[in-house]
Amino acid sequence: MAVKSLAKPLVAHVGRGRGITPRAFVEGYQLAQRPGFFPSFLRGPDCTDGDGAGGERDARPVWRALSSWSHRDERGIETLRGMKRRDTADLVVPVELSRPGLGYNAPREEGATTTRGGWDRISLPFGLFLDAFISQSIPWSSSPSPSPSSSSAGSGSGSGSGQGDPGVVGYMAQYDLLSLSPSLSSDAPPLPHTRAGPRGDREQWRSNLWIGPGCTFTPIHRDPYHNLFVQIVGRKRIHVFPPSAHSSLYLFKEGPQQNTSVIHSERPLRTDGADDMHRLFPLVEKALGATHTAVVDVGPGDAVFIPQGWFHCVASLETSVSVNWWFR
């Protein structure tokens, strides 16, 4: 049986083209504090043309990243070889290490001394990260892979590498690699939508790249900025919850993560985890049933807008690359 979310789908934006003009984006979503799903956001001229001109005959990838970053090897495994370049391979990047399907808020198992017992962060060259955690052309851990049951808290979709769930998942999360690589930046240039609002250029905080295999999970949290999220390679599933759902999301009550839920996997939000939800997090049922709670699966070229202060979590369904902008 297919794994499904317990939330209702986020309704897709319907417009004349396959994107949305900056003006329509600001008026219909940013100022309205309304989440938005924009299928094929990067595959139609409306995503950049201010007047919305253009039609199906002009539909084409606006970003070269959509066609140049993905590469599958002879095994059919996504390697992201198109991202390994002269100006990226030796850049040292932060990599989050976790167990499959678990977020950075997962508790460390008692007595554990390795990443299998919790979460960690390391730094290594970007090219080595791709080889070890994406194409898996070099081994990262000599530890035996977990049994299928040991990763049941995860997304249930495997690593996306064709080699089964890895013992350790490596995720380059929330890192502004575009500012360090002119070649990648030219493939994924800034979009005018984040600057079209009342504050213009004054509140453009940063962009982030998110690169990892299947089974990565960013737990339920909220940010102090608007978030325009674009998928480039692979698929992810995003849940969004309105600010009013905060009392049903089991937020940390103290410490630096009070904007984050203690729920450390996506499982309680899905049909295969309903028993876990009722047993461990019974209030989540109320959050999932809230009027504006929704879920959406995104693929290459799709975009999601998450308003400032809205809670959200993100699960990768396969090897994936995403970029987002935080702005006001």
Q: What is the DSSP secondary structure assignment for residue 177, as one 8-state letter?
A: G
The single-letter code of the amino acid at 195 is R
Yes or no: say if 213 and 160 are a contact pair by the CB < 8 Å rule: yes
- CA dist., res. 265 & res. 273, Å (int): 10
With a cut of 60, say whether residue 51 has pLDDT above it.
no
- pLDDT class for 250, splitting at 50, 70, 90? very high
Q: Which of 326, 303, 238 is nearest to 48 (CA)?
A: 303
pLDDT-based confidence at 115, cuts 50/70/90?
very low
Q: Which residue has the tokens 């209030």?
A: 283
On whether the CB atoms of residues 110 and 95 are closer than 8 A, the answer is no
Residue 194 near residue 50, CB atoms below 8 Å: no
pLDDT tens per residue across span 61-105: 589 999 999 999 999 999 999 999 999 999 999 999 999 999 999
pLDDT at 30 over 90: yes
Cα separation, 69 vs 323, in Å, equals 13
The Cα 266–Cα 313 span in angstroms is: 8
pLDDT digits (tens, 9 = 90+) for 265-298: 999 999 998 887 889 999 999 999 999 999 999 9
| Distances 155 to 70, 201, 273, 290 between C-alpha atoms, Å | 22, 37, 10, 23
Amino acid, single-letter form, for residue 226:
H
Closest CA relative to residue 192, chosen from 59, 80, 77, 52:
52
Q: How confident is the model at residue 46 (pLDDT cuts 50, 70, 90)?
A: low
pLDDT tens per residue, range 291-326: 999 999 999 999 999 999 999 999 999 999 999 999
More confident residue, 63 or 114: 63
What's residue 156's pLDDT? 40
pLDDT in tens, 131-189: 999 999 888 753 444 433 333 334 444 444 434 335 899 999 999 999 999 999 999 99
- The answer to whether the beta carbons of residues 295 and 30 sit under 8 Å apart is no
The helix (run of H) or strand (run of E) holding residue 187 is: helix 182-187
Please state which of the four CATH numbers 3.40.50.620, 3.30.300.90, 2.40.30.170, 2.60.120.650 is assigned to the domain occupying 22-327.
2.60.120.650
* Domain spans, the chain: 22-327
pTM listed for this prediction:
0.87
156 vs 144: CA distance, rounded Å: 19
Looking at residue 74, its pLDDT comes to 94
